[in-house]
Amino acid sequence: MNIALIAHDKKKELMVQFCMAYCGILSKHNLCATGTTGKLIAKETGLAVDLFLSGKQGGDQQIGARVAYNEIDMVIFLRDPMTELQIEPDVAAMLRLCDLHNIPIATNIATAELLILGLDNGYLSWRDVVNPKNSKKGRII
């Protein structure tokens, strides 16, 4: 499956820790991330991560476009609820796209853990039916 990883600045370290904890599961899937987050994950975990632009340069919008084209199967967007309101439209846009296209999205660590464990247990295999072209491991970009 194709998994997108995004984290606000104050959540980047938590995202890296999450990826370290679930490295065994994540390594079985195609990962993409916004630039800074993806570089940190790749450096600290050794996971292969396809990089988009940083969030501030439009990386979350690039991922949103992939969601709209049904090329992403899951989004983990660890957001800082205390962040500035100017970033909130980007979060709202991502949530809307995921809702519109039935893409599971986690916005906090508790939900991210449930999605990853569900993925490992096969609870998200319905995405292979909805999106069969993405069921084999390969590049997203």
**Residues involved in catalysis:** 60
Contact 32, 38 (CB under 8 A): yes
> Under the phi-then-psi rule, with left for phi > 0, alpha for psi from -120 to 50, and beta for the rest, what region is 48?
beta
CA distance 28 to 47: 10
CA distance 19 to 6: 12
CA distance 24 to 34: 21
CA distance 125 to 128: 5
Judged by DSSP in three states, 62 sits in helix
